[in-house]
A = this chain, B = another copy of it.
Amino acid sequence: MAWKIALAGIGKIARDQHVPSIAASRDFDLAATVTRHEGVDGVENHADIEAMLAARPDIEVVSLCLPPVPRFEYAAAAIKAGRHVMLEKPPGATLAECHALEAMARNAGVSIYATWHSREAASVEAARNWLADKRLKSLKITWLEDVRRWHPGQEWIWEPGGLGVFDPGINALSILTRILPTPVHLAGATLKFPENRQTPIAADLAFRHPDGAEVSAVFDWRKEGDQFWNIEAETDRGTMELSDGGANLSIDGAMVEASDVALEGEYPNLYMRMAEILRTGGIDMDLSPMVHVADAFLLGKREIVAPFHE
């Protein structure tokens, strides 16, 4: 038996990832969408979340792919109506609202899942396993992409709460917090704000590691040509490179093959994980990637850089 699911927020990420992943899933049937804009061919659409919840009591799960700022109201409405909730990353616009959603879900007895799709990339678990018994000397995240290519017309990423370059950067941080055996915390950061925008276009982060390893990150949205989403780590027993956003792993220069399960794909894996959570009635709200982002805004030095025009 498959769960009937509604998808709210039909933008680029919904069309590119969520719709095909649900279509391919044995666990979920896409029963409705919620959007004020164009819906999905052949799927019932509602302009309003409350209207959908009232019209479709048979829909047990709501997956939210809206930008972070409006997401809370949708999630709160779904939980109040007794539905399980799956949240695109980041799980909200503030940490306090995520804490509130978790408490609401617990009180309502429904499941809630803060997804981190990059953690499902094919080689992330292999990297985690390899690092588990090594002493880390240094780790460097390099996340360089062209915002014009990956976020065309997405004005919300430049508005307050839109995160700017931390929208992709939080993917790197979701991998970092998954693969490191011990947590790190931010020791310093520089955030580069275009003079005509509210969110940073680039950032440099330095973390403190309990054993003194050098852990740092560079995020930059101004990279044209080749794109880089790499994490390199040097340990007491070799080096690893996790490249292409977690898809590929090499140890001391030799490629490691990913497992079949890992190769299913990031979003199909998220929906498999959601089905597991629903079967066990659990809650998965790991906010650690978002804590690092909030810390970067709190502690970061602000620099004003050249204006950005799309």
Q: Tell me if A183 is interfacial: C-beta within 8 Å of chain B.
A: yes
- B186 close to A94 (CB less than 8 A): yes
A186 and B210 CA atoms in complex are apart in Å by 32
Q: Tell me if A228 is interfacial: C-beta within 8 Å of chain B.
A: no
- B193 close to A99 (CB less than 8 A): no
CB-nearest residue of chain B to A94: B295
Q: Tell me if A13 is interfacial: C-beta within 8 Å of chain B.
A: no
A207 and B301 CA atoms in complex are apart in Å by 26
Give the Cβ gap from A291 to chain B, nearest Cβ, in Å.
5
- A294 close to B292 (CB less than 8 A): no
Q: Tell me if A299 is interfacial: C-beta within 8 Å of chain B.
A: yes
Give the Cβ gap from A192 to chain B, nearest Cβ, in Å.
13
Give the Cβ gap from A11 to chain B, nearest Cβ, in Å.
20
CB-nearest residue of chain B to A104: B210
Q: Tell me if A208 is interfacial: C-beta within 8 Å of chain B.
A: yes
A window 201-227: CB within 8 A of B: 208, 210
Q: Tell me if A95 is interfacial: C-beta within 8 Å of chain B.
A: yes
- B96 close to A198 (CB less than 8 A): no
- A185 close to B294 (CB less than 8 A): no
Residue among A69, A96, A160 with the highest chain B CB neighbour number at 10 A: A96
**Copies held by the complex:** 2
| Count of A interface residues, CB-CB < 8 Å | 34
Give the Cβ gap from A127 to chain B, nearest Cβ, in Å.
21
A window 127-161: CB within 8 A of B: 160-161
A17 and B86 CA atoms in complex are apart in Å by 48
CB-nearest residue of chain B to A73: B208
Q: Tell me if A29 is interfacial: C-beta within 8 Å of chain B.
A: no
- Known A-B contacts A100-B183, A185-B97; the reply to A160 vs B294 at CB < 8 A is no
A302 and B288 CA atoms in complex are apart in Å by 25
CB-nearest residue of chain B to A301: B160
A69 and B100 CA atoms in complex are apart in Å by 28
- Known A-B contacts A94-B299, A96-B186, A186-B94; the reply to A208 vs B72 at CB < 8 A is yes
- What would 8 more interface pairs be, CB under 8 Å, given A94-B186, A198-B302, A294-B298? A93-B298, A96-B185, A96-B292, A96-B295, A97-B186, A100-B185, A160-B299, A160-B301
